[in-house]
C-alpha cells in the first residue's frame, strides 16, 4: 500500500507555493539517488544481519562537481553527529562532491567510495595539487540495523550516484531505510518553495534524513500529535539525529548560505524537537548559482549576489520546506521491523489526520 505525502492528505505548511514536484529537485539541475539495503530478520548476528540501511546521494548539479563546485555552508545545531568535509566548507565556502547520507558506522566506507567515483572522471585529482574532499553525513540506524556489519559497500554508493534523478523517493529509502523519527518510522523527506524577489524568481528545496526525537515531542502544524495519539511505541536507547540539506538557485555566498542553514533548525523546531543532548542536528546549504571554476587561472572572480535585504523570503521558504520535509518523511515511511524484534511503527495517518481535523489544522 502506497502511503500519501502530507500535502496529498490535505495538509499545507506556510503560504508560499511549492515547486512542481514539491521536492529539492525543483531546483534546476538537482538530482537525488537512493540505494536501500534490506535483508534478514530475527535476532542480531553482528556482521551478518538483519540489515536495514542504505545510502542517499544529493547532486547539486549534473555536471562535474569537482571542476565546478557550488557555494556551500553548514550549521551545527547540535554536534553529536558527523559531517566529513566540514572543515573545507568552513574554509572555502564550497561543496565539490555530491552530498552523501548514510548510517553512522558506514561514513568512512561511503567517503572512500565517493572519492573513487569522483576520481574516475577527474584524472588530475591528487596529481595536479587538488585533492577530493568528500561530503558525507550520517545518522545512527542501529535500532533496526546491524551496524557492526558495515553493510554499505562501494557498489551501493555507485548505485545511488548513478540512479540519481529528479524523482525523489521518500520514507524508508536510501540512507533513511533504517531511521526512526519520534519513535515512528522515519527516513527521507523532501519539499520545496518558489518565491519572487526584486532580483528574480527562485526556488528553495529541502531534503532531510530524519532519525531524531521521541513520540511525546512530535508536533504537526502546532498540534501535539505525539502526545495525543493513543499508542505506546518502543523507545530507542539513542536519541537519534537529523541531517537537513537545503539548497537554492538564488545567488548567495557562503555567509548568506550559513544564515539560510540556520533557518533549517527553525523548521525542525516546528515539528517539536528541542535538539536533544545526544542528537546530531546538522544543516547543509548550497547554492547552484555562481558555480566556482576550479581551473580558472586569470582575472578576478565577479559574481552577482542577492542583497541581504532580499533574504527574508529565502529564510521563510527554508523554514516551511524543512518542516514539511520532516512530516513527509513520517507520512511516507511504513512500519518496519529490524534486529531482535525491534519495530519502528509507521505513523498512523488516519488517526493523525483526525487529530489535525479536530484542531482545525486540516484543509
pLDDT single digits (tens) 145-187: 999 999 999 999 999 999 999 999 999 999 999 999 999 999 9
Report how far residue 312's alpha carbon sits from residue 249's, in angstroms, rounded to the nearest whole number: 15
Catalytic residue among 36, 137, 191, 279: 279
The yes-or-no verdict on residue 295 having pLDDT over 80 is no
Whether 191 sits among the annotated catalytic residues: the reply is no
- For 17-294+304-335, CATH gives 3.60.70.12
Question: How do residues 203-228 score in pLDDT, each as one tens digit?
Answer: 999 999 999 999 999 999 999 999 99
Q: What burial class does residue 298 get, using C-beta atoms within 10 Å of its C-beta: 0-12 exposed, 13-18 middle, 19+ buried?
A: exposed
> Quick one: pLDDT at residue 183?
95
Mean pLDDT of 128-143: 93
Task: Report whether 101 contacts 209 (CB < 8 A).
Answer: yes
- Would you call 279 a catalytic residue per the annotation? yes
Where helices occur in the chain by DSSP H, the ranges are 86-92, 107-121, 154-162, 225-228, 254-270, 312-332, 349-358
Instruction: Please compute, for residue 250, the number of CA atoms within 13 A of its CA located in the half-sphere on the CB side.
Output: 34
Residue 315 burial (10 A CB sphere; 0-12, 13-18, 19+): middle
- Those residues whose C-beta lies under 8 Å from the C-beta of residue 290, and which sit 6 or more positions away, are 71, 251, 253, 303, 304, 305
- pLDDT for the residue numbered 297: 64
pLDDT number for residue 231: 83
SS3 state at 109: helix
Quote the cell numbers at residue 162: 548513478
Q: Does 316 score more than 70 pLDDT?
A: yes
Q: Among residues 137, 158, 172, 241, which one is catalytic?
A: 241
Active site annotation includes 241: yes
pLDDT score of 156:
98
**How far apart are the C-alpha atoms of 55 and 180, rounded to whole Å?**
15
pTM value is: 0.96
In percent, the amount of the chain with pLDDT more than 70 equals 98
Amino acid at each position: 500500500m502506497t502511503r500519501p505525502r502530507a500535502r496529498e492528505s490535505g495538509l499545507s505548511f506556510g503560504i508560499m507555493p511549492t515547486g512542481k514536484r514539491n521536492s529539492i529537485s525543483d531546483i534546476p539541475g538537482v538530482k537525488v539517488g537512493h540505494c536501500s539495503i534490506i535483508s534478514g530478520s530475527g535476532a542480531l548476528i553482528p556482521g551478518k544481519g538483519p540489515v536495514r540501511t542504505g545510502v542517499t546521494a544529493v547532486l547539486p548539479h549534473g555536471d562535474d562537481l569537482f571542476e565546478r563546485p557550488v557555494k556551500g555552508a553548514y550549521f551545527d545545531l547540535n554536534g553529536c553527529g558527523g559531517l566529513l568535509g566540514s572543515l573545507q566548507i568552513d574554509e572555502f565556502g564550497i561543496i565539490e562532491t555530491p552530498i552523501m547520507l548514510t548510517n553512522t558506522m558506514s561514513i568512512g566506507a561511503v567517503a572512500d567510495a565517493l572519492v573513487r567515483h569522483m576520481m574516475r572522471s577527474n584524472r588530475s585529482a591528487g596529481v595536479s595539487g587538488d585533492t577530493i574532499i568528500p561530503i558525507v553525513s550520517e545518522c545512527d540506524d542501529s535500532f533496526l540495523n546491524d551496524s557492526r556489519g558495515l553493510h554499505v559497500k562501494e557498489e551501493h554508493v555507485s548505485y545511488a550516484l548513478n540512479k540519481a534523478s529528479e524523482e525523489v523517493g521518500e520514507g524508508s529509502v536510501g540512507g533513511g531505510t533504517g531511521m526512526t523519527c519520534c519513535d515512528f518510522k522515519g527516513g527521507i523527506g523532501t519539499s520545496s518553495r518558489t518565491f519572487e524577489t526584486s532580483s528574480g524568481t527562485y526556488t528553495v528545496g529541502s531534503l532531510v534524513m530524519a532519525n531524531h526525537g521521541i513520540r511525546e515531542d512530535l508536533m504537526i502544524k502546532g498540534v501535539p500529535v505525539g502526545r495525543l495519539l493513543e499508542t505506546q511505541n518502543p523507545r530507542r536507547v539513542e536519541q537519534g539525529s537529523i541531517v537537513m540539506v537545503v539548497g537554492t538557485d538564488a545567488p548567495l555566498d557562503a555567509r548568506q548560505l550559513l544564515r539560510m542553514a540556520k533557518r533549517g533548525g527553525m523548521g525542525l523546531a516546528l515539528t517539536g524537537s528541542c535538539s536533544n543532548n545526544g542528537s546530531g542536528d546538522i544543516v547543509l546549504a548550497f547554492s547552484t548559482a555562481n558555480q566556482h571554476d576550479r581551473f580558472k587561472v586569470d582575472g578576478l572572480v565577479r559574481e552577482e549576489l542577492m542583497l541581504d535585504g532580499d533574504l527574508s523570503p529565502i529564510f521563510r521558504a527554508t523554514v516551511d520546506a524543512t518542516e514539511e520535509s520532516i512530516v513527509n518523511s513520517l507520512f511516507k515511511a511504513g512500519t518496519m521491523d529490524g534486529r531482535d524484534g525491534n519495530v519502528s511503527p509507521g505513523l498512523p495517518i488516519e488517526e493523525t489526520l483526525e487529530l489535525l481535523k479536530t484542531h482545525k489544522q486540516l484543509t
